[in-house]
Chain A
Amino acid sequence: MPWTKITQSDYFEIDDNTEAPTSRRLKYTEAVREALDSALEIDKRVFVMGQGINDPGGMFGATTGLYKKYGEERVFETPLAEAGLTGIAVGAAAAGLRPFYCHNRPDFLMLAMDQIVNHATKLNYMSGGQCNVPLVVWATTGMGWGSAAQHSQALHGLFMHVPGLKIIMPTTPYDVKGLILSAIEDNNPVMIFEHRKLFNQTGHVPEQAYKIPIGKGVVRKTGTDITVVAISEMVAEALKASKKLEEEGISLEIIDLRTIKPFDEDIIINSIKKTGRLLIADTGWATGGVSAEIAARIGEKTFGLLKAPIVRLASEDVPTPASYVLERAFYKNAEDLEKAAKALW
């Protein structure tokens, strides 16, 4: 089996009926593709670039064939030069275009750190507001099949540290389409971190273009006992765990944050008012990571409301190992979440 395919057992479906009043269903990657198609259609300034985007595989199907419709001037392959090409995207954005730069792994973004951290996020501020950068950087976090330490890193936490960025981590086909369109429309650098494990799910997606606001979370499941703030694929794990826990009389309220920078503090605080308990589940590392930031920020504001200390569920603080036995120990899943919730209850 080719390592870029994910197995049937990794198939998820997150119930989004409340938000998408349509019977039309798309695969997650089809929703990404439809968002890009809409953006290219709506706005002539938009272009899509990336290494491998015009391959028959086209970013797991997210970009397949778009160049045939819009031409290779607007949907083009890049040389393997992430640092230079990110700078080129920054320059093109500052000069009036709207680049969407695709990477099939966040690991490769480490080559582009200078342009993201020193440039894209700084130019408007240090020019006194003369140079905004409407750039979208899209990357897919890998997982499994021995992808190991350099092809499966969840690095969103690194970027959360940097002022001037917005960071989106969608989980459903409906959300990804609406959030991509919001990201492209935004006048600032936006990063989107996808998760491979979510790619094969299907969900409701309206045909027309629509936007979902950046910075707004959504309650995926209402509950009374423990607030679970889940990031990216952990939403699916939390939903799985909640079914079992329900049988044992523990009711989870699951919040899908959707955007981690800026993140929706109100939706978390309102839920804690009801539950008095917070469990944060992230796909990245714990130390200095997204779960640390959420815990600190929410802890500062809800100390008096909490009945127990905030609990975090995150990857072990080691690089991703290759062997599946070690992989299983590294990644947190529904079972781990179930244990953590029981301990907290």
Chain B
Amino acid sequence: MKNSYNLSAEALLELYKTMKRIRMTEEKIAAHYREDNMHTPVHLYIGQEAIAAGVCANLSKDDKLFSNHRNHGHYLAKGGNLKAMIAELHNKETGCSKGYGGSMHLVDNNVGFPITSSIVAGGVPIGTGDALAASTLGEGRVTVVFMGDAATEEGVVYESLCFAVLKNLPVVYICENNLYSVGTHLLKREKEQRVSKKFEGILPVYTVDGNDVLAVYESSRKAIEHARYGRGPSFIEYVTYRLRDHHDTKTGVEAGYQSQEEWDSWKEKCPIAAFERILSKENLIDTDIISGIEETNKNELNDAFRFAEESRLPDVGNLYNGLFG
């Protein structure tokens, strides 16, 4: 049963649930961060949830996602294991990276989350190489590479996009333009404010509202299909805003680099609140359904935190494990 959004009611609800799950996870991490049980720098995804949810709804488990330091939302949307993620943040051996990666390096081969680099743009060529392997081996899967706006200032992005076009690789580049590189606004870093314009001469580029989950879903669906059917790479810039600081749990206003007015205007554009209004209009959710979803998430999160707290820390004797494969 399709509606005016060309998506089933289940699919629409699924997008909503994914966003809510990410938001509540990040809020719970923030709430507990000061307890000092998570010795790892966290980069929260609050405000950007529509992008991970919308893009990943178009991916199968075999498709691969290459993420970055701000990866919690990507991991969960890609089907990641919440317990393993929270355990990784708690530095435990049950973490998805066994306590060797921390928050910035979530990796999970079970869900197509093979490498996460916290060197800005570092994962972009690697994801491109993954697409080269997929293409060479005829695997029929698609690679999606996430980067921030600041990553596009790095030369390897240009090099990667050019190579992907040269070899017609099945890859989609997703740029989450949240306007800030740590605390520096895009206006201070680039003359051109539309990030995708820099790559116009290389491959198909799009700029889309990153806080509109349906627009994200639809635009990434087209790009992913395009790649899957052998028509080559594309680049999508999603314009968004993070409602927390670059890392840690406060806001950019509290950190002193965002104005209250700017922050308020983006808070009003919160992707989850906006989608709630749409779903209510479609009679797909009401307050009962929302509290039901919240209750489920709360329970799941409590379980995950308990699991993480009760898990063992890595054995010091395993310091050299994994140096070589």
The CA of A151 and the CA of B99, in the complex, are separated in Å by 42
The CA of A79 and the CA of B117, in the complex, are separated in Å by 24
The reply on A129 being an interface residue by CB < 8 A is yes
Chain A CB within 10 A, most for which of B126, B137, B159: B126
User: Could you say which of A54-62, A80-88, A316-324 contacts chain B?
Assistant: A80-88
B139-170 vs A: 1/0 string, CB under 8 Å?
00000000000000001101110110010000
Q: A84-B160, A119-B122, A125-B322 are in contact. Are A93 and B129 (CB under 8 A)?
A: yes
In angstroms, how far is the closest chain A Cβ from the Cβ of B164? 9
The reply on A191 being an interface residue by CB < 8 A is no
In angstroms, how far is the closest chain A Cβ from the Cβ of B121? 9
A179-208 vs B: 1/0 string, CB under 8 Å?
000000001100000000000000000000
The reply on B259 being an interface residue by CB < 8 A is no
The reply on A309 being an interface residue by CB < 8 A is no
| Size range of the chain B interface in the assembly | 35 or more
The CA of A164 and the CA of B99, in the complex, are separated in Å by 18
The reply on B24 being an interface residue by CB < 8 A is no
Q: Which of B95, B124, B325 contacts A87, CB < 8 Å?
A: B124
Q: Is the CB of B156 within 8 A of A128?
A: no
The CA of A274 and the CA of B74, in the complex, are separated in Å by 61
Q: Is the CB of A90 within 8 A of B129?
A: yes
Q: Which of A97, A115, A118 contacts B137, CB < 8 Å?
A: A97
User: Could you say which of B44-52, B100-108, B292-300 contacts chain A?
Assistant: B100-108
User: Could you say which of A130-138, A291-299, A334-342 contacts chain B?
Assistant: A130-138
Q: Is the CB of B129 within 8 A of A91?
A: yes
Q: A95-B134, A96-B133, A129-B325 are in contact. Are A90 and B125 (CB under 8 A)?
A: yes
| Size range of the chain A interface in the assembly | 35 or more
The CA of A128 and the CA of B115, in the complex, are separated in Å by 11
Within 8 Å CB of B101, what residues of A? 126-128
Closest A residue, CB atoms, query B104: A126
Within 8 Å CB of B322, what residues of A? 124-125, 127-129
Within 8 Å CB of B156, what residues of A? 81, 83-84, 87, 114
Q: Which of B105, B129, B159 contacts A92, CB < 8 Å?
A: B129
Q: Is the CB of A90 within 8 A of B126?
A: yes
Q: Which of A47, A84, A114, A134 contacts B163, CB < 8 Å?
A: A84
Q: Is the CB of B133 within 8 A of A127?
A: no
Q: Is the CB of B97 within 8 A of A126?
A: yes
Q: Is the CB of B130 within 8 A of A84?
A: no
The CA of A91 and the CA of B159, in the complex, are separated in Å by 14
Within 8 Å CB of A81, what residues of B? 156, 159, 162-163
The reply on B109 being an interface residue by CB < 8 A is yes
In angstroms, how far is the closest chain B Cβ from the Cβ of A213? 15
Q: Is the CB of B109 within 8 A of A130?
A: yes
The reply on B132 being an interface residue by CB < 8 A is yes
Q: Which of A86, A128, A131 contacts B125, CB < 8 Å?
A: A86
Within 8 Å CB of A163, what residues of B? 323
Q: Is the CB of B97 within 8 A of A128?
A: yes
The reply on A73 being an interface residue by CB < 8 A is yes
Closest B residue, CB atoms, query A73: B136
The reply on A123 being an interface residue by CB < 8 A is yes
Q: Is the CB of B122 within 8 A of A87?
A: yes
In angstroms, how far is the closest chain B Cβ from the Cβ of A13? 35
The reply on A94 being an interface residue by CB < 8 A is yes
Q: A127-B107, A163-B323 are in contact. Are A118 and B119 (CB under 8 A)?
A: yes
The CA of A183 and the CA of B13, in the complex, are separated in Å by 51
The reply on A89 being an interface residue by CB < 8 A is yes
Within 8 Å CB of A115, what residues of B? 122, 125-126
Chain A interfacial positions (CB closer than 8 Å to B): 47, 73, 79, 81, 83-97, 114-115, 118-119, 123-134, 163-164, 187-188
Extra contacts, 5 of them, besides A73-B136, A84-B159, A188-B324 (Cβ < 8 A), are A79-B163, A84-B162, A91-B131, A91-B132, A128-B100
Closest 9 CB pairs of A and B: A132-B325, A91-B129, A87-B125, A84-B159, A128-B98, A95-B133, A127-B107, A91-B126, A81-B159
Question: Can you show 5 pairs from A to B with CB atoms below 8 A apart?
Answer: A84-B160, A87-B128, A91-B133, A96-B133, A131-B115
